Chains A and B, each alone.
Chain A
Amino acid sequence: MSEGPVNSPEIPRLPRVLEPGYNYASVTDKIASIVLTRPVSMGWLAGFSIAFVIMMVLLGSIAWLFIKGVGIWGINIPIGWGFAIVNFVWWIGIGHAGTLISAILFLLNQQWRTSINRFAEAMTLFAVACAAIFPGIHVGRPWMAFYMFPYPSTMGIWPQFRSPLIWDVFAVSTYGTVSALFWFVGLIPDLATLRDRATNKAAQIIYGMLAMGWRGSARHWHRYQSAYLLLAGLATPLVLSVHTVVSFDFAVGIVPGWHTTIFPPYFVAGAIYSGFAMVLTIAIPLRKAYGLEDFITMRHLENMAKVMLATGLIVAYGYFMEFFLALYSGNKFDLFLVEQRLHGPYSHYYFALILCNILTPQLLWIRKVRTNVAALFIMSLVINTGMWLERFVIVVISLTRDFNPGAWGRYQATFWDYSTFIGTLGLFVGLLFLFVRGLPAISIAEMRELVAHKSHEGHE
């Protein structure tokens, strides 16, 4: 399906998934050189240093949190969730694009996934790492966070299995585990390539250990491909299940604005939406910095823009349905929530959300915008902001104004709320910087397959 139907007149207009003129060796050279031979550039050093400083801000914020307790944040009854949960949902949502690209697009045999799957998976792992921090530090006594796991405790009780918060623990830890496995299995042949090409002893040993004795024999490849296919199958349901369970955290509660059945599909679509935005945010600077325009082509960027447009429309439908169902049911609390979103104290967040998530992406209908790298980059940032605002609107507006006016409250994020959030951005970016220099950001083995595929087609 990669190039469309053979007789279609569209063929010449579709950008390629790999620019012509590459063979096995040149593909390998180009990707492996980023890790092995290129000197550390000033740009990388500057970028990593900034990210590292922000990472230290995260560390400092968490240390201060552990010393003082969650009171340093803006949360207080009735708003017990605040930034920590907003950030958790945002980060975990971002991870979804990686799994979708690596698992679902793999099973659907979409060739355009090949050059973006590796760093998208890395992004997934790093996003899950950032996400997992939040529920852990949000519990009042973080050193007791292990209570969330079912282990034979001396208390004679188990976690509350009827609570979606516990389902979340399972969903996220399964997701993290499967994503890490999938990523690692995919890396093995490339690690062997790096081992064989590395010239210094330390790199040979490190890559050699990670490659786990890969020799590239036919038997190895046979097993590798079965394992990869199985893991893809295992990861596929996770694309849907993880954010479904995250949405249950809200939907199972009876708070107006949370208690709706549309939450699971609308959360999953939102997750993929923000995930693809983040992949674009990473892909565009990456291809520019390392001259990978031949591998991550306009075709990739445009396809991702299309996925964003589609999932963005599903999200828009979700927003519309929330309002429609409030009006249609006539439930006074739901109607009141609509009122609060439009005219309440946080209405500017809601209008910003509509602007970022619904109005701006409509520009993606225009082909010129979809193929304009700068426009895509800006739009990916706008959508990421919008998805963060969406979680803020869901968490804060519903909690500040629920059923009983006597129990209303206001939420104001503090310095430590922001520093923790920005700190996780530093962690995320810092990990990406390390990843780009330490591991092949594009799958060498799969790019070689793509080269083989192209040469068989003959006319490319």
Chain B
Amino acid sequence: MAQIFHRSTNFIARFSLFSAIFLGGLALTGILALARSPYFTRQNIAREQPVQFSHKHHAGDDGIDCRYCHTSVESSATAGIPPTKTCMNCHSVLFNNAGYLEPVRESYRTDTSIPWVKVHRLGEFAYFNHSIHVSKGVGCSTCHGPVNQMPLVFQANTLLMQWCIDCHRNPEAALRPLDQVYNMDWKAPADQAKIGHDFAVQRKIRTTVELTSCSTCHR
């Protein structure tokens, strides 16, 4: 009886067994890597804005406090995007003829908002509140990175749940003296573990069990 299969089938059979496992593993690894990549998280990708507003210039070079514009950061869930009037406080006199500020002046004249592009987007199923974080001593730069060095703001962290929960499991590492919260250049001191722990006790930071409970963030 003639052979059904050619000799090479032996190799093909073994190779396909190997590649089923290898390629399957590779595909899975690829998917897991892709889910963490900037392609999905938008980390480190600067967003074009309707006005080329530079945080580096305003917060860094000029040293304007974050709260001058983001006024509600201490008292509400969102830090707040400033109205055009805030811009015009200065730009009615400074660079008041500059061409690239025309969209700002036009917004002011016509009483329409500048369509700023949101950079940090959380899922709507996640409850996040700025005020609790800053009042417990988590600094702006802990999450937003060195905004004072960003000509155009980009997302400095992944904003993945993994990233949120890492901090909720170990909040001590991020706690600062309260007067340093808005300091973009604050660096954790060598004894952060100790002072962070003291801050956690003083400020009555909740236990990890409470901080990582589902309903803390998914209400």
Contact = CB atoms under 8 A, between A and B. Distances in A.
26 contacts: A151-B32, A154-B35, A154-B36, A154-B158, A154-B160, A154-B161, A155-B160, A155-B161, A155-B162, A156-B160, A156-B161, A156-B162, A156-B163, A156-B165, A156-B166, A157-B212, A195-B4, A201-B4, A204-B4, A205-B4, A205-B5, A208-B4, A209-B13, A212-B13, A213-B10, A213-B13
Nearest to A208: B4
Interface string B151-162: 000000010111
A152 interface: yes
Given A201-B4, A209-B13, A213-B13, 11 more contacts: A152-B32, A154-B35, A154-B158, A156-B160, A156-B162, A156-B166, A157-B212, A204-B4, A205-B4, A212-B13, A213-B10
Contacts, number: 34
Interface residues of B, number: 16
Q: Which 9 A-B pairs have the closest CB atoms?
A: A156-B162, A155-B161, A156-B165, A154-B160, A204-B4, A208-B4, A154-B162, A154-B35, A156-B161
Contacts of B5: 205, 208
Nearest to B163: A156
A157 B10 contact: no
Contacts of A156: 160-166
A154 B39 CA distance: 14
Interface string B109-138: 000000000000000000000000000000
Nearest to A195: B4
Residues of A in contact with B, size category: 10 to 19
Contacts of A208: 4-5
Interface SS of chain B: helix, strand, loop or mixed? Answer: helix
A155 B158 CA distance: 11
Contacts of A212: 13
A209 B163 CA distance: 48
Contacts of A204: 4
Interface string A189-230: 000000100000100110011001100000000000000000
Interface string B1-33: 000110000100100000000000000000010
Interface string A143-158: 0000000011111110
A201 B3 CA distance: 11
A33 B74 CA distance: 81
Given A151-B32, A152-B32, A157 B165 contact: yes
Nearest to A156: B162
A212 B13 CA distance: 8
Contacts of B10: 213
Interface in B164-192: 164-166
Contacts of B164: 156
Interface string B182-219: 00000000000000000000000000000010000000
Interface string A53-77: 0000000000000000000000000
Nearest to B32: A152
Interface in A208-259: 208-209, 212-213
B21 to A, nearest CB: 14
Contacts of B162: 153-156
A152 B212 CA distance: 18
Nearest to A207: B4
Nearest to B36: A154
A154 B10 CA distance: 41
A213 B5 CA distance: 10
A156 B211 CA distance: 14
B120 to A, nearest CB: 17
Contacts of B161: 154-157
Interface in A73-91: none
Nearest to B10: A213
A204 B212 CA distance: 59
A195 B9 CA distance: 16
Contacts of B32: 151-152
B26 to A, nearest CB: 15
Interface centre among B158, B162, B163, B165 (most CB of A within 10 A): B162
Contacts of B4: 195, 201, 204-205, 208
Contacts of A157: 161, 165, 212
Nearest to B29: A152
Nearest to B28: A151
Contacts of A213: 10, 13
A268 B13 CA distance: 40
A151 B31 CA distance: 12
Contacts of A195: 4
Nearest to B1: A196
Of B5, B13, B36, most buried by chain A (CB within 10 Å of CB) is B5
Contacts of B13: 209, 212-213
B217 to A, nearest CB: 11
Contact of B165 (A155, A201, A205): A155
Interface string A127-164: 00000000000000000000000011111110000000
A213 B36 CA distance: 43
